[in-house]
Amino acid sequence: MAETIRRHVYVSGRVQGVFFRDFTRQQAQALGLTGWVRNLDDGRVEAVLEGEPASVTTMLNKLRDGSPQARVEHIAVREEPPEGLEGFVMTG
């Protein structure tokens, strides 16, 4: 079985109201990742990504670039132990 890692991510900038969550969900599903993404009240987007290390790294790079309408100013990434999530959902 392939190694699974988990990253908890906070993205700052112009990332709400620009389809960033949907972009994140689509990209994560295409990479076979599990987890979730949601808007925060302070204007940031929060996401949890679980999957193979190469896929998670690719996804982090996509988040740094952002969706076409977004302007990512900062991304904070924290390592966490995987929880074995299923699917990738968009909340909040």
Element (H, E) at 51: strand 45-51
Q: Which domain holds residue 75?
A: 5-91
d(CA 7, CA 41): 21
Is 61 annotated in the active site? Answer: no
CATH number at residue 53: 3.30.70.100
In the chain, the number of structural domains is 1
* pLDDT tens track for 2-34: 799 999 999 999 999 999 999 999 999 999 999
| Type of residue found at 80 | E
Is 39 annotated in the active site? Answer: yes
Q: Which of 21, 61, 64, 78 is catalytic?
A: 21
Q: Which of 39, 44, 61, 78 is catalytic?
A: 39
The pTM of the full predicted model, rounded to 2 decimals, is: 0.95
